Amino acid sequence: MSGTDNRSLIKPALDIDPWLEPFSHHLINRQLQFQKWYKDLNNTEGSLIKFASSYNTYGLHANWDNNSIIITQYVPDVLEVSLVGDFNDWNFNSHKLIKINDFGLWSLTIPSINNEFAIKHDSRYKIAIKIPSGEIIYRLDPWLRRATPAKENTLYEGRFWNPPKHEQYVFKNNRARFNNKEGIRIYEAHVGISTPEPKVGTYKNFTENVLPIIHKLGYNTIQLMAIMEHAYYASFGYQVTNFFAISSRYGTPDDLKELIDTAHGLGIKVLLDVVHSHSSKNVQDGLNMFNGTDHYLFHGGAKGNHDLWDSRLFNYANHETLRFLLSNLKFFIDEYKFDGFRFDGVTSMLYKHHGLSFGFSGDYNEYFNPDWVEDEAITYLMLAHKLLEEINEIDNNDDKFISIAEDVSGMPTLCLKISEGGIGFDYRLSMAIPDMWIKILKHLSDEQWDLANIVHTLTNRRYKEKCIAYCESHDQALVGDKTIAFWLMDKEMYTNMSVLTENTPVIDRGIALHKLIRLLTFALGGEGYLNFEGNEFGHPEWLDFPRIGNNESYHYARRQFNLIGDDLLRYKFLFEFDRAMLSLDSKYGVLDTPQAYVSLKHESDKVLIFERNGLLFAFNFHHSNSYPDYKVGIETSGTYVLVLSSDDKEFGGHQRVEETNDKGIPYEYFTNNERWNDRSNSIQIYLPSRTAVVLQLKDKVF
């Protein structure tokens, strides 16, 4: 391509953000590097789809046509490779693999015995490798589908997962789809903690007991954490040991398939929290030192270590690393029917400094400095999104697979399509928002809340790059931090959350602000919304996994969903408000619409007014002042009715806002043509203290 033609690769990105112009050559180089890899993979592997389908050949597989078993492994720079296990009494010389090429590929076909598989279902196996020193080392299959804890030690052992056909789960439901109004509403969940009892929850428990709650609330997407197998439970799933195995502590692969299929039947998409930013350092039951070297799929030496996370870093420029990671994505889509991915640790991937001790200021030089930016990782992420695009085309799926980036840096073009000159993500997490709320609750009195700063943080996102807004995720629920409910009410949550006790000033304030913070974040903060399980009803305790520091206790590694079923407890109020809030999006469309127009930020009144997609949102954050007939600007004239009030009794409020007249007819609000706050019309509403109301045109109410 000529220089002019190359520029066409990124023209849409430059049109969206002209400030990228001085860095156009960097953006062009990214596109060219991606195209080179894409072309090379198509030439050498047949296609990107075939390359990412390598999970069908690599690893240990059963051939049901003739009951043979075939194993294929990439093990470079070794002398011999053997398959050992229960089936051959762990004999190194019994089943040696044959070297296929000079690039480290080995394979072996094991014929059936008496027309039965030579290796029994769920039996143990390992890869035995003779390294150049002559030593024989034993490793788990990098592509294995099942790993379980050993009985005699703390290590995990590989198992050949090959259940009889009649026992294999068969999917019944098509993938879930969004309606044409709604945006993405994510329920971030961890299967193991999703039970009130202090124990490890199961996939079946989640399917039977938690999915109905998520559906009732109105979330249309679940983001499942800690699914990829991790030997250390307290790592929250972020120290992955076995990338193609799902965590056995929650149940079987068929149990997870049933969970996802049931979610689809309820109209709920399921995303996998995928960890491709790093890998566990475990040697005996992980990827580390698989072939006896420190650079199997990873960078060698110091470059291959993440010192803060104490983990290994992938070499994204390695052909076989790309095969492994891209196949991992396609495997979870094909095998388990996941609807997309939340990519963990994207900031660490994007930069050679991994974001450690680096305060991103927004200066574009921080995003394009060749000494800082990891272009190889960016190429991998672009290939991953090209793969999702191609799978989508093959499946003829109207609702594309979803990708979300956990990136704190604000990398420009991260959430633009590759065809627009971007990296390809659909959304990034707005990580500044929860930080803002915690700082406010920790350091400021109610009178000191700065509405202008709050609005700036909630709306400060890149044009045309979608964001997921959230008040708090699992990060804020972990021990050592506090949830919003705890910051607001921790002094009295164990004594005054019963409706039989006094509604104290602490509880009254906490419940009121919990609702306002959520509604404001939901309506103003992004094109999608996320909540961590339990936080929607103000879960009374933090999250702490069993570990040495807490005597291996499961007391805080749980979610007490039983609290919302107790009619005498106030948690039900927050639960019902969350449900009503989410319905605004499913009914009227809030999230997947252009940014709101903020018409008023009145610091002394503590009143905030904005419109989004025809809805009028009015917030009064004042701790004591209520305002009758408060005049606010509104663009569209007509008759409006109330569609949500945070002050309703069913939400734990004081019912100060009239919803209906004495005949039960919805109370109406009429606009007049007086221009106000730079809007074409005005309307007068009653704004009680610590209350938010939402109005909609009468003829558009469902």
Q: Domains (ranges, CATH) in the chain?
A: 56-167 (2.60.40.10), 597-700 (2.60.40.1180)
Low-confidence spans in the chain with pLDDT less than 70: 1-4, 396-398, 480
- Cα–Cα distance, 310 to 527 (Å, whole number): 34
* pLDDT for position 4: 57
Active site residues: 344, 406
Number of helical (H) and strand (E) elements in the chain, helices listed first: 17, 29
- β-pair partners for 314: 298
* pLDDT for position 154: 86
* pLDDT for position 290: 98
- Cα–Cα distance, 262 to 336 (Å, whole number): 12
* pLDDT for position 153: 87
* pLDDT for position 5: 76
- Cα–Cα distance, 658 to 668 (Å, whole number): 10
* pLDDT for position 357: 81
Q: With H, G, I as helix, E, B as strand and everything else as coil, classify residue 237.
A: coil
- Cα–Cα distance, 661 to 128 (Å, whole number): 79
* pLDDT for position 395: 73
Residue with tokens 């200066």: 363
- β-pair partners for 427: 404
* pLDDT for position 700: 87
Would you mind telling me the total number of residues written for the chain in this entry? Answer: 702
- Cα–Cα distance, 143 to 150 (Å, whole number): 19
Q: Give residue 117's identity as a one-letter amino acid code.
A: F
> Which pLDDT tens digit goes with each residue over 346-373?
999 999 999 888 888 889 999 999 999 9
* pLDDT for position 536: 97
